[in-house]
Amino acid sequence: MKGDLSESSGPRDGSRGEGSFPDAPVLASVWRGGEIESVHRGSWCLVDSGGHVVEQAGAIEHPFFTRSAVKCLQVLPLFESGAAERFRVTDEEVALAVSSHNAEDCHVRTAAGLLGRIGLAEADLGCGPQPPGDVTSRLALAERGHSPGRIHNNCSGKHAGFLALTKHLGADPARYLDFESESQVMVRAAVAEMCGVAPESLGRAVDGCSAPTFRMPLRAVAAAFARYTTPDGLAPERRAAAERVVESVRRHPVLLAGRSKRLCTALVEASGGALFPKIGAEAVYTIGVPGRDLGLAVKVDDGGLRGLHAVVVGLLRRFDLIDDSAARSLERYAQRTLRNWDGVEIGRVTLH
């Protein structure tokens, strides 16, 4: 694979190395009454599939936990093993497998459908119970007298995919989240290969859903998204898998996140599928640009959505990756104007 990133050119712009957090530049400022009230610091890079940096800010060689932002990489063994074909995984289930969803009815039904087809149930999911992210769904669950379950976890689609892979391999479903289980070794190898790093170089920890999460430089994950969405250099089987995932998300953007206040779904819809986005917890964001050999990776240091959303939309505008119509539809995420509860304009968010 071109653009091997296993040996980086060294720290850039304030990166301090392992075990520390980099000094990052201000990416966005929040203004009130003509004065800066808060700032959001972080790092980002726009990269091609060879790992060459188009533009960047901050410590792009410093490793960050990518959390759910790399689910599309984690799903590759589901296809390459033959599990997706064996279990007749639908496009809806593919989109859900790479999602961080709101637990709306469409999400829950889709996860349950895949679990039923592989002969497993909600109890087999290793992710913990989580209240639905969608307020309407959360209230409806309470009105029925039901408690949130594992299937309502925003990562239940990914876990259903992991379980399908595990069943196909003939391994023990109870161990499917173990770091050294057969399925997770395959997942780790796929993530490392796509990012151009050695598997042993990936930092590892446990995610909020109990699955393994990986730590790697922003440049590596941005390059992976460029490769994924412009997959000419991938082996035929992997290229077919990546194209299937991107097309499934394009066709089913609501399954990627949800109908209410979710930037991932909004970006796919606003761009008509010309962007392939994914959020990760603690303000990580990755976007591939299908057919343009570009990947964008962002990390906002404070972990908050206000700064993350504004930076992501601002960068897309800066690099002309969304048109004027799409930009207008995403204005609420850009937050260029801040209003109080009475609708009075009281401030703005500006990008650096």
3-state secondary structure string, 7-39? CCCCCCCCCCCCCCCCCCCEEEEEEECCEEEEE
pLDDT over 90 (residue 128):
yes
d(CA 317, CA 207): 31
Estimate the crossing angle of helix 263-271 against helix 305-318, to 10 degrees.
20
CB atoms within 10 A of CB 146: 10
For residue 68, give the nearest of 282, 233, 267 by alpha carbon. Answer: 282
User: For tokens 């850009």, what's the residue?
Assistant: 334
For residue 330, with 0-12 CB atoms within 10 Å meaning exposed, 13-18 middle and 19 or more buried, which class applies? buried
Estimate the crossing angle of helix 218-229 against helix 236-251, to 10 degrees.
90
The predicted structure's pLDDT at residue 18: 57
In this structure, is residue 15 part of a structural domain? no
The predicted structure's pLDDT at residue 352: 87
**Predicted confidence (pLDDT) per residue in 37-92, tens digit:** 999 999 999 999 999 999 999 999 999 999 999 999 999 999 999 999 999 999 99
The predicted structure's pLDDT at residue 213: 97
**φ, ψ (nearest 5 deg) of residue 123:** -60, -20
In this structure, is residue 79 part of a structural domain? yes
266 is in which domain, residue-wise? 26-351
Q: Are 14 and 56 in contact (CB under 8 A)?
A: no
In this structure, is residue 20 part of a structural domain? no
Q: What percent of the chain has pLDDT over 90?
A: 92
d(CA 133, CA 152): 9
d(CA 317, CA 305): 18
**Predicted confidence (pLDDT) per residue in 104-118, tens digit:** 999 999 999 999 999
**φ, ψ (nearest 5 deg) of residue 345:** -70, 125
One-letter identity of residue 253: P
The predicted structure's pLDDT at residue 336: 84
Integer-rounded Cα Rg, in Å, for the chain is 20
Q: Compute CA distances 333 → 20, 90, 245, 315, 318, whole Å.
A: 30, 31, 25, 12, 15
The predicted structure's pLDDT at residue 19: 64
The predicted structure's pLDDT at residue 260: 84
Tell me the average pLDDT across 203-214: 96
The predicted structure's pLDDT at residue 12: 43
In the chain, what is the straight-line distance between the N-terminal and C-terminal CA atoms, in Å? 34
**Predicted confidence (pLDDT) per residue in 141-187, tens digit:** 999 999 999 999 999 999 999 999 999 999 999 999 999 999 999 99
In this structure, is residue 240 part of a structural domain? yes
- CATH number for the domain spanning 199: value is 3.40.710
In this structure, is residue 176 part of a structural domain? yes
pLDDT over 90 (residue 20):
no
Residues 6+ apart with CB under 8 A from 226: 47, 48, 49, 288, 289, 293, 294, 295
In this structure, is residue 3 part of a structural domain? no
Q: Into how many domains does the chain fold?
A: 1
pLDDT over 70 (residue 11):
no
d(CA 201, CA 224): 16
The predicted structure's pLDDT at residue 261: 84
pLDDT over 70 (residue 1):
no
Give the chain's length: 352
**Predicted confidence (pLDDT) per residue in 228-277, tens digit:** 999 999 999 999 999 999 999 999 999 999 998 899 999 999 999 999 99
Tell me the average pLDDT across 292-315: 97
In this structure, is residue 36 part of a structural domain? yes
pLDDT over 70 (residue 7):
no
The predicted structure's pLDDT at residue 5: 42
The predicted structure's pLDDT at residue 248: 98
pLDDT over 80 (residue 121):
yes
d(CA 58, CA 284): 14
